[in-house]
Structure 1
Amino acid sequence: MQAFLDLNKDSRWMEAIKSKLDIVGESVPPGAHIVYLDYPVHGNIGDLLIMKGTEAYFKAKGIRVRKRFSYLNFRMGTRIPSSWIIVCHGGGNFGDLYPYYQKFRETLVQRYPRHRIVILPQTIYFRDPEEQRRSLKLFGRHADLHLYVRDEGSYRAAKSEIANVTLAPDMAHELYPLKAAPPGSGKRLALVRTDGEGNSWDLERSLVLSCDTRTDWPDLFGAWDRLLLGIVVRAHSLDRRCYNLLPIRRLWYFLSDLYVRRAVRLFDSYDHILTSRLHGHILSCLMGKPNRLMDNSYGKNSSYYRQWIYRLEEACDVGNSGNHAGDLHSQSS
């Protein structure tokens, strides 16, 4: 794999991508009072990185988060002052691949027609074109909806039905830079998806098998972690029934910090990262780790790379896997 070039040079590109998040300020201005909805309560490190980046952005811009809710404990119809902006978590679950989250957002725009609603950077993917049209039309009927998307394909899909659509990078970029240990071990890590977004890595099989370790985000969670996660999920559901009187969010934020640090420590033990996780790639770049990116099942990784990370082409060795990734740039060492 290609080694990182001069980090002083490369940091300019990462800083440039981070600065593009300032565009969120057009709909969520500094000092705004907001409600942050749909923060993730699960063990996907990528979503937790997005959440940490989002909270860092709020802090940096002086945005006042008056309330925070996950989809598990938010009560539709909760009274929200009309001057508060409703801000929804970003990520890659806008579509019919994760219908619960999409239904949550659809219900939200129907129940709060007079509020400004902002959806932070998402990738849009629907398997069913009719469902895509129906859902986007519903969002388009809201008078003050602002949708941020992470790639050109998502932008084209949404712009046909929604007035306020804006391209922006993933919120995890707000975490740049993350400290990393100096290279030296020469070890390689393969972080390969094993869930429904997984893609065949036949084209990268020799590279994957040559890595010292092959893993995925769920492998960072032992039996005790899974038990604790289950308790936290049930506690959020109980909090909804208790009218949000339980201090469960603070506990979850504490635990999620631990899990993110665990991922950072894992990456710190390797000099090169091969991954089909978009946030495996983003975390590598946040830490200045040379890495190679394979695509996921529907082209999310390649679309994101083409939109943003191409500027890191000289610093990251980015490969391709599967039919969707044919346009990813690559350099040989």
Structure 2
Amino acid sequence: MASLHPMDELKEKLKAILEVVPPGSEVIYADYPVYNNGGDLLIMKGTEKFFHDYNIKVRARYSEMNFPDKLSVPDNCIIICQGGGNFGDLYANHQQMREKIVRCFPSHRIVVLPQTIHFENERKADMTAALFNNHPDLHLFVRDMRSYDFAMAKFHNCRVRLCPDMAHQLWPLQPASRPAKDVLYFLRTDSETFAGQQHIDKEADDSNRLDWETLFTPSEVRGILYFQKFYSLDKKLGGLLPVRSFWYKYTDYLMNRAINLFSSYREVRTSRLHGHILSCLLDMPNVVIDNSYGKNSQYYEVWTAGNPKAGLHGAPESKLEQPS
């Protein structure tokens, strides 16, 4: 009997979430992204596919930008918070939204989908842990061992589980075309950039180096900014505008842009975690470079090291399996 592809195995591991969000559940989905980080958009697409695949009924969806100040949630609803890499004190708006949900809904089951946890301030970490530990039915999924160990030490009254990123529910993605170019350098340019990326930077030129901010054209980025304005207006109007349905269609277009780009290269070298995950979803050779606090290497070591088409920059050299 043929063994499962490593990506099939990761997709199977997401079924652990069904232990706390059973098929057929009714849920509120909170904190889906309305900005130009394609990695978070991939997580959202994977989450929505998970809901669809297991007949999980989403009664309402809210971004950080239009989450109501006062929200009535039916007793039988589970509140689900988007996964990603913003649990901690680097991205205050998203953390504050999660903490508001935990504070305001003590009688509802709350599930945080797979996150990387990173606090730079120990006092803030302790304050968050105290709040979460006071909730009787809070379930925290994390994407790497460092986050798992941290959560097990701090969030002792929460149920903590290790689980891959939600984007793996999208496996397999079909490449848009046969590759015609050599190497795509998909590299961070923000505060999470790792100093060790510098000599990789020298390998790339402007024609084959991109990031989420530069993958999308200026007009596409302006489109995202317009959506953000509509979301702010929607909150003022009490959720009367159909912003979410139009935004989801627009994100389909943006994700197709990313798939088309990646598919046009034979290999990807990336310091974006979801540059790595998207490459794996497309079953293409890729090398992942760490970010500033070890998120990428931690993820690789737990989940994707067994993928013959994936490698970790700086690890003992090994030959990546090339596409046939």
Q: What TM-score do the two structures reach when normalised by structure 2?
A: 0.93
**What corresponds to 1:318 in structure 2?**
312
Answer yes or no: is 1:202 the counterpart of 2:198. Answer: yes
Q: Which of 212, 216, 222 is the equivalent residue of 1:221? A: 216
Matched residue type, 2:216: F
Q: Distance in 2 between matches of 1:161 and 1:304?
A: 20
Answer yes or no: is 1:331 the counterpart of 2:318. Answer: yes
Counterparts of 1:77-96 in structure 2, within 5 Å, are: 77-96=70-89
User: Do the aligned partners of 2:176 and 2:260 also contact (CA within 8 Å) in 1?
Assistant: no
Matched residue type, 1:158: A
- Following TM superposition, by how much is the alpha carbon of 1:127 offset from its aligned partner in structure 2, in angstroms? 0.8
User: Do the aligned partners of 1:149 and 1:165 also contact (CA within 8 Å) in 2?
Assistant: yes
User: Do the aligned partners of 1:281 and 1:291 also contact (CA within 8 Å) in 2?
Assistant: yes
CA RMSD of aligned residues (A): 1.9
Q: Deviations over 1:86-117 (max 9, x none)?
A: 00000000000101111111111011111101
- Residue aligned with 2:27, SS: strand
- Following TM superposition, by how much is the alpha carbon of 1:186 offset from its aligned partner in structure 2, in angstroms? 5.0
Q: Deviations over 1:41-72 (max 9, x none)?
A: 00100000000000000000110011111011
- Following TM superposition, by how much is the alpha carbon of 1:183 offset from its aligned partner in structure 2, in angstroms? 4.8
Q: Distance in 1 between matches of 2:207 and 2:250?
A: 28
Answer yes or no: is 1:150 the counterpart of 2:140. Answer: no
Q: Deviations over 1:197-250 (max 9, x none)?
A: 1122135356x3389611111112222222221111111111111111110000
**What corresponds to 1:289 in structure 2?**
284
Q: Which of 123, 137, 142 is the equivalent residue of 2:130? A: 137
- Following TM superposition, by how much is the alpha carbon of 1:138 offset from its aligned partner in structure 2, in angstroms? 1.2
Q: Which of 224, 244, 255 is the equivalent residue of 2:239? A: 244
Q: What TM-score do the two structures reach when normalised by structure 1?
A: 0.91
- Residue aligned with 1:130, SS: helix
User: Do the aligned partners of 2:184 and 2:208 also contact (CA within 8 Å) in 1?
Assistant: yes
**What corresponds to 1:235 in structure 2?**
230
Q: Which of 57, 72, 75 is the equivalent residue of 1:64? A: 57
Q: Distance in 2 between matches of 1:293 and 1:277?
A: 8
- Residue aligned with 1:124, SS: strand
User: Do the aligned partners of 1:77 and 1:111 also contact (CA within 8 Å) in 2?
Assistant: no
Counterparts of 1:1-333 in structure 2, within 5 Å, are: 12-162=5-155, 163-180=158-175, 183=178, 185=180, 187-200=182-195, 201-205=197-201, 208-209=203-204, 213-312=208-307, 314-320=308-314, 328=315, 330-332=317-319
> What is the percentage of aligned positions where both structures have the same residue?
43
User: Do the aligned partners of 1:76 and 1:111 also contact (CA within 8 Å) in 2?
Assistant: no
Runs of 4+ residues deviating >4 angstroms = 181-184
Q: Distance in 2 between matches of 1:161 and 1:281?
A: 29
Give 5+ residue unaligned stretches, structure 1: 1-8, 321-327
Between the two structures, name the one with larger relative contact order (CA 8 Å, sep ≥ 6).
1
Give 5+ residue unaligned stretches, structure 2: none
